[in-house]
Amino acid sequence: PITGIIKIPSIVPRNQPLMIKGLPDTQNSLYITDIRGVVVVYAKQYANGWIPGNLASGMYFYQLVYRDHKGKLQRMTGKIFITD
């Protein structure tokens, strides 16, 4: 099973990067969906520093998928509120 819990800021200003504390130094996949479940951002090799850019202000959901140092698949999920 895929497990994982992470705490990230719930508010991300449009011009500042999303920084995830404790992000492992491995290949990560980041998916961000809108409230309808439509994927609006997909980053195959995510590293801390994604900037919301031209996404509309509002609530989004993220899922970060990665392999831990033991090779076990992990998933971190949560909500992001993008502000202007």
pLDDT digits (tens, 9 = 90+) for 8-62: 446 788 888 887 776 766 678 999 999 999 999 998 888 777 888 888 999 999 8
Longest dimension (CA), the chain: 39
CB-based contact 18:81 (threshold 8 Å): no
